[in-house]
Structure 1
Amino acid sequence: MSPVYPVTGIKAGITGTTVPLRLEVDTWYPGQTPEHLIQNNLFIWALRFLQERDPDHKLSFFQIAGIHGMPYQPWDEDTDAITANEGYCTHDSLLFPSWHRPYMLLYEQVLYEIMVKQVIPQLPEDKQQEWTDAAATWRLPYWDWAQKKTREGQDETLYDVPLITKQPRISVIDLKDGVTVFYIDNPMYKFTMPDEERMGCFGISDIQDTDANNNITTIPAQATSRWATYEPESDTVSTQWTEGTVRNSLITSTLNEHPWYGKGIDNVPLAEMVYRLYVHDYIASYTQFATTKFRTSPDYDPGSPAAYLNLEYIHNNIHNWTGGFDKYVGHMAEPAVAAYDPIFWMHHANVDRQFALWQGISLLDPTKNWFESRNEQLEDDGNWYIRTGDLDTPSTPLAPFHKDAEGNYYTSDDVRDIHKLGYTYPELQPWLDKYKDTHGNFDASLYVADIKAMIKAIYSPGEIGAPTEISSIPRSLTSPLGQPDFNKDIIVNVTYNRFAFNGIPYTIYFFLGTPFSPPSYSDPLHTHPQHVGFIYTFSNPIHRNRAAPGCGNCRRKALTDTKSRAQVPITGALIARHPAIHNGNLPHGIHELPSLESDTVGEYLEKHLHWSIRSVSLSSFVYSVSLLGLVSFV
């Protein structure tokens, strides 16, 4: 077996008690301090050099991104012991948060090694030490997609992609003199194959399948952008891509028009969805928090109706909004190629941060914050290393990530403590003096309370601070004193078949109003006035193309009719329809809700709640769905 690559994390910058921070990207770029300015340049140069590496290089951008999906080839493995076309898929899996943690660590470590071995040596000697010191404290920035940003020329804060991703050209310091500033192609704007190679030459082929009318459907895999420009070749469902065109403006507008983001009638901002993850009585277990996977055993009791919300589901929808839908589909919307968009890594750094915050607030509750107990463990669908039916436990290997040169794999227990991996986040600094008791010892209760306070400050949906409430509504319509009362929280809980269309990802749209025919609405469905939320499957097509298999995990899930779970809260949408709120300004097709009493709400939903399905890759493939096994409510 060839030597393996140990993923150890960055060891530089660590003191006896502290580790460097992963920072929110828009607080880090453009640099406001000399250290951050140098780190900006180190990162941009390192990412450019990484993307320029030969695609056959194990530590190239292409190979590292390929771990997530296509081309479904071994990475850092003994190929004689592996079956091809299986992949490392851990979506819809209990291992979803922990598997992606060493994945981010690998990417971070490789970039750091390029900084110190390839970037800094090109500088004049009198600049090298300052840049080496800055590299030591650099860690991969995260994109907090649930926190509004301040933008020049905007009166209000808004949700947006990071500034570092927005322009095709970016300024850097010339490494020859360490002073001169000039522009290069921005490696965070898109990934382009080295030497203008085509991805198809390296196994990233278009995904093909058939629709209900036996038309061949192609999901192109050649684009190198997030929201790509769409140009229909004909009136058929097949599409062509304009190579390399990034539509960040579409992402920005969608982030702010969509009900999870905007201020419209729905009042279900993304920040509230994230906030619910950390409300003490809302998420009952680690398994609920971690994954969309739905336990189908006959004796399974999901417990609270809140049990359908989870981190992976929110993560899925971010992939959709960033990658595009309807007429526009980029890499981020497709699991098989998502990691080829450079924004993927900052998105997943934030997913890791949400995971770490959950661990932080659960520090005092050992029965809730991990999955040691049998009741918390789920059966795996299998991949290259995990056998189908094996229980996912904290000691399950997280292939292909090796923790040492002997070839031992990381496990979830190995990555449980991020501080031991050499990084942390701004909210998670247990060494700070404010967490010490009167004797100077660490006080876990002070630490947990402060993490919760910071989460509330960032994500709480208003002054009242309860996840079901909006600060402008009368107290008579909410729980006493603004405390969460989940008996008054109206949510749509959904179990869905991830592989209903052979794994082609699709979106379930929910509406409150007079039913209408989705094909009659020419604009994106999320802009419809009745729209109250959606669920994106972020599933993998079970075939790479009509002749070759795709993800083995996904093929097995499709055969077993696997179900996943998600949740759309609609309390805000219902309150907005109350006469005390709407003041007679309800859009056409939306009906007044005279009371929030349970009987009245039940009758209202029975008459006005409806839903439709649209495939992210088949813009004309639209279904109006009733309870036929695809969607069910709890």
Structure 2
Amino acid sequence: MAAHSKPGGIMSMLLTAFVLLQAVVAFQHGANHNHKHVAHRSADSMEKHFQETRALLEERANNIAIKGAPDGQYPRLEIRDLKKKTDQWNLYLLAMERFMAKDKNDRMSYYQIAGVHGRPFITWNNFGPLLNSAGFCPHANTLFGPWHRPYLAVYEQAVYQCAKEVIATFPSSQQQRWNNALVGLRVPFFDWARDPPSGEPAVPTAIRDQTVTVTKPSGQVSIKNPLYSYTWGNSLPSEMGWGPKNGFPTTIRRPVDNPTRSNNNEMNALFGQARVGWRQRVFALFASKKSWGYASTSQYGVQTARRNSDSFEAIHDEIHGTAGGTDGHMSYLDVAAFDPIFWLHHVNVDRLLAMYQLIVPNTYVANGNINRPMAQWNQGEGKNGNSPLKPFTKDTSGNYFTSNDVKETRALGYYYPETSSRTYKQVVDAVNNLYRKSGESTLTRKRADGEYIPIYPGRAFKDGDYDTVLSVVGDKYAMPGSYQVHCFLGKPSDNSTTNGTAPYVNGTTPAAPSSNSSSYSAPGDYGFPSNYVGSHAFMGGSVAGGNSSTPVIVEGCIPLTAALQGKEASGELASLHPDDVEPYLKQHLYYKVIGPNGAEFAPESIPNFHVKVKSCPVTPAGDDELPTFDDYVELPRVSLPASAPWTYVPGPLDTLPSGVPGYEVPSPSEGAPVSYPTGAAPMPWDEEGYCVSRQTIEYVDPAGNMLYSEES
């Protein structure tokens, strides 16, 4: 708390001076009236007035000044790299333990900060009464990326402060060691798309072990791993209102019963085989080079021309769904932030978005409208880069961050290893090294019968290649919780346990897997058949509809390219050209939709659900550049359930057209009224706290030479 002692002292002096002034004014006011009025200014009334005034000022000045960790600009590291820094890793774990143990009434406790995202649907940081019974997180919205940036910063700030408190518990003779470890301590990220170090699992054991050994003042001890789960205690607090598994009071991942517990081993296995597709999705997005505002959000109506089916938010949803399973906390927006893996995941999403900023400079937040009632916004409100990111305040006076305030991550005290030099080339090199193709010669998935099945890891693009995806469009809140689309390549007639079985015949109602197939180990466990390609999750909340009066339409994709490259390598497919791919997929492509509790749904029965196969030509590039992806076009002959022709009709909550006066500029002209069409939604500048700012970010090389500047 020492870092805040001076502001606190100044505040006390200001409070005293203000209250003394109030007392003088009150006394003078009384002196100008008769004795009866003066009598009302008794010592008790003066004390009461003093306390009321003090409380009012403290409330106004008691907003959290979100700065992130306060010791300068340092990199956030991948969790496996942070673990190599033994003392800093130890301090991070102890800080997390302390953070989670803080009283839930403390605004900087894990309980309250996690609760900002969704439940318990209570106010935070003097925001005031909630506008709607909902959380603050703007998913499927243009503010998805920038809103989470100060959110992660206040989380990081809390962890850093807890680390300082932990150091104070050590003997004075040991504190210097831990103070050294504190320098540059930042929360880590988990890069779920990159290949893990040789011999290591897909999901680090540091996230999956129930206990961990740490050094405390008493020496080495074993504690509950704060990255494994968070617990509310013996029961879920009533204010939470709802929780997976009938209010199970500890966060769980891909839960199993008898007793209720996490299945972290299954999560690890699924992450291991899924990263082939996740890597393709990340790489294709970077290669698309579309506007940052379009690449960041899955909200369908934001884009008028969709060059790529995917977005970083859509991939984010898939990770949530795979980690949580059909009834784990990560699969529900309401409660996902309580699972510690949420933060490791979101720091990685922030990292990818920060990297992408350097690929497409001078693009940023797109205009958009709020598409569902939220804690701080009503449905239909317009937002842009100057909109306040409520409830995150940048000072104690209550001024909110805007997206433009946090465009440069160093403003919050951090950067990433891939953005340390702020150069396009550094990011391109990292994307090519991490995501272009697997560094492993072989990948395998373990089937339920114990047999290991090879997975084709993908290869770099070459001349004549195409990228092919299964585009999936749906209502984000069609079901209570997440629902996941699982994709397969396999013939229905192939019933061998070696090659797996196709889930169902094209065009028919989905059927459960054959009971005599050993490819499946549990209901809803579709990650293990050898013909499995990948999945995409629509991450929803605990209540279908998401409190929205209209469907919240989003889009994502399931990459087919690596699987098709494998078929080409085996001689089953002549090339990746649509002339060869389209008839092959017409015969071999299948999918299933699995919803809450592992239930299977006929695709045609899901409102606003649509699929189509898309393909685009790829122009390869060398190691120092990214390939070029042209526009995706539909392969219409691949007939699937819910693949009938469909055209999206923009609705009233989509981005307003450019013809709306003033909407394409940051704010109306000074003093000039803006006329809106009859019935138009509130414009961004109508919101209290809207703040227009102009920033110029200058990028320099390590020698300080100017590279380029970026306006916002």
TM-score by length of 2: 0.67
CA–CA distance in 1 between the matches of 2:395 and 2:237?
Answer: 33
Change (3 A) 1:78 1:500: closer
CA contact (8 A) 1:204 1:222 kept: no
Cα separation, 2, equivalents of 1:173 and 1:206: 34
* 2-structure distance, mates of 1:568, 1:229: 25
Change (3 A) 1:255 1:206: closer
Partner of 2:547: 555
- Give CA deviations for 1:176-224 in whole Å, capped at 9, x if unaligned: 5xxx21212222221122xx342243324247xxxxxxxxxxx534252
Give, in whole Å, the separation in 2 of the partners of 1:139 and 1:472.
33
Would you say 1:5 and 2:64 are equivalent positions?
Answer: yes
SS in 1 for 2:242: coil
* Cα distance in structure 1, aligned partners of 2:607 and 2:166: 57
Q: Is 1:183 aligned to residue 222 of structure 2?
A: yes
In the TM superposition, 1:294-443 aligns within 5 A as 294-295=300-301, 300-302=304-306, 304=307, 307-325=308-326, 329-363=327-361, 366=362, 369-371=363-365, 376-381=366-371, 382-430=373-421
Note if contact 2:142-2:302 (Cα within 8 Å) is conserved in structure 1: no
Give the structure 2 partner of residue 438 of structure 1: none
SS of corresponding position for 2:386:
coil
8 Å contact kept, 1:227–1:322: yes
In 1, Cα distance between equivalents of 2:576 and 2:156: 50
Partner of 2:253: 227
Note the alpha carbon deviations across 1:297-322, whole angstroms, 9 max, x for none.
9xx332x3xx2111011111111222
SS in 1 for 2:611: strand
Establish whether residue 48 from structure 1 lines up as the match of residue 41 from structure 2: no
Q: Tell me, yes or no, if the aligned pair for 1:518 and 1:622 is still in contact at 8 Å.
A: no
Which of the numbers 502, 513, 526 marks the counterpart of 1:520? 513
> 2-side partners of 1:272 and 1:632: how far apart?
19
**Aligned partner letter, 1:519:** A
Q: How far is 1:228 from its partner?
A: 5.1
C-alpha distance in 2 between matches for 1:229 and 1:489: 35
Task: Label 1:506 to 1:229 Cα distance change in 2 as closer, same or farther (>3 A).
Answer: closer
The one-letter amino acid paired with 2:76 is R
The structure-2 alpha-carbon separation of the partners of 1:93 and 1:157, relative to structure 1 and needing over 3 Å to count, comes to: farther
Structure 2 CA distance for partners of 1:521 and 1:5, relative to 1, 3 Å: farther
User: Residue 64 in 1 paired to residue 113 in 2?
Assistant: yes
The answer on 1:272 being equivalent to 2:260 is: no
Correspondence for 1:612 among 587, 592, 604: 592
Preserved contact between residue 21 and residue 424 of structure 1 (Cα < 8 Å): yes
Letter aligned with residue 246 of structure 2: P
Query: SS of the residue aligned with 1:88?
Result: coil
Residues 620 and 598 of structure 1: CA distance in aligned 2, closer, same or farther (over 3 Å): closer
CA separation of 1:204 and 1:47: change in aligned 2, threshold 3 A: farther
Whole-angstrom CA distance in 1 between matches of 2:302 and 2:176 = 57
Q: 2: distance between equivalents of 1:531 and 1:252?
A: 16
Q: Do the aligned partners of residues 562 and 422 (structure 1) sit closer, same or farther apart at CA in structure 2, a change above 3 Å counting?
A: same
| Aligned residues of 2:131 and 2:378 also touching (Cα < 8 A) | no
Structure-2 change in CA distance of 1:504 and 1:11 (3 Å): closer
Match of 1:582 among 546, 570, 576: 570
Q: CA deviation at 1:103?
A: 0.9
Aligned counterpart, 2:271: 255
What does 1:86-105 align with in structure 2 at a 5 Å threshold? Answer: 86-105=134-153
- 1:577-631 deviation line (CA, Å, top 9, x unaligned): 34xx225xxxxxxxx445654344333333433322110x222343354897411
Any conservation in 1 of the 2:393–2:399 contact (CA below 8 Å)?
A: yes
Matching of residue 532 in structure 1 with residue 533 in structure 2: yes
> Which segment drifts farther, 314-323 or 596-605?
596-605
Q: Where does residue 107 of structure 1 map in the other structure? A: 155
Secondary structure at 2:418 match in 1: coil
1:198 equivalent to 2:225? Answer: no
Q: Does 1:25 align with 2:79?
A: yes
How many residues in Structure 1 have an aligned counterpart in Structure 2?
Answer: 514
1:630 and 2:609 aligned = yes
Give the letter aligned to residue 540 of structure 1.
G
Shift, 1:507, TM fit: 0.8
Distance (whole Å) between structure 2 residues aligned to residue 452 and residue 84 of structure 1: 42
State the 1:78 CA deviation: 4.1
Separation of aligned partners in 2, 1:563 and 1:111:
36
| Residue matched to 2:672 | none
What are the superposed Cα offsets for residues 47-71 of structure 1, whole Å, 9 maximum, x if unpaired? 1112112222222211111111111
Query: Aligned residue for 2:683?
Result: none
Paired residue for 1:167? 209
TM-score, structure 1 as length reference? 0.75
Aligned to 1:526, the other structure's residue is in SS state coil
User: What is the CA deviation profile of residues 307-340 of structure 1, one whole-angstrom value per residue up to 9, with x for unaligned ones?
Assistant: 2111011111111222223xxx321122111111
Q: Is the 8 A contact 2:321 2:331 kept in 1?
A: yes
Say whether the 8 Å CA contact 2:292–2:357 is kept in structure 1: no
Q: Is the contact made by 1:145 and 1:161 (CA closer than 8 Å) also made in structure 2?
A: yes
Is 2:18 aligned against 1:38? no
| Counterparts of 2:226 and 2:598, CA distance in 1 | 30
Amino acid across the alignment from 2:567: R
Corresponding position of 1:451? 427
**Are the equivalent residues in 1 in contact too, given 2:592–2:600 (CA < 8 A)?**
no
RMSD: 2.7
Would the alpha carbon gap of residues 11 and 59 (structure 1) be closer, same or farther in structure 2, given more than 3 Å must change?
Answer: closer
Q: What amino acid is the match of 2:183?
A: A
Mapped to 1, the partners of 2:80 and 2:114 lie a distance apart of 23
Give the gaps of 5 or more residues in structure 2.
Answer: 1-55, 440-455, 493-503, 505-509, 613-633, 635-712
Matched to 1:555, the amino acid is N
Query: Could you give the per-residue CA deviations for residues 366-393 of structure 1, whole angstroms, max 9, x where no partner exists?
Result: 2xx313xxxx312222423333222221
Aligned counterpart, 1:246:
262
Tell me the equivalent position of 1:587.
none
Counterpart amino acid of residue 359 in structure 2: I
Asked if the contact 1:510/1:533 (under 8 Å) is kept, the reply is yes
1:437 match:
none
2:487 counterpart residue number: 510
User: CA–CA distance in 2 between the matches of 1:149 and 1:311?
Assistant: 21
Note if contact 2:458-2:563 (Cα within 8 Å) is conserved in structure 1. Answer: no
**d(CA) in 2 for partners of 1:49, 1:471:** 41
**2 CA distance for matches of 1:168 and 1:596?**
45
The answer (yes or no) to whether the contact 2:243–2:335 under 8 Å persists in 1 is no
Aligned residues with identical type, % of pairs: 26
1:158 is displaced (CA, Å) by 5.4
Match of 2:472 in 1: 494
**Aligned AA (2:163):** M
CA 1:250/1:462 → structure 2, altered by over 3 Å: closer, same or farther? closer
Deviation of 1:75 after TM superposition, in Å, equals: 1.3
What is the CA-CA distance between 1:159 and the residue it aligns to? 5.0
Matching residue within 439, 456, 460 for 2:436: 460
Q: Distance in 2 between matches of 1:472 and 1:495?
A: 25
> Which consecutive unaligned segments of at least 5 residues does structure 1 have?
151-155, 208-218, 233-240, 262-267, 431-443, 464-469, 544-550, 584-591
Shift in Å, 1:555: 1.2
Residue of 555, 578, 596 corresponding to 1:598: 578
Residue 575 to residue 21, structure 1, CA distance change in 2 (3 Å): closer
Larger Rg: 2
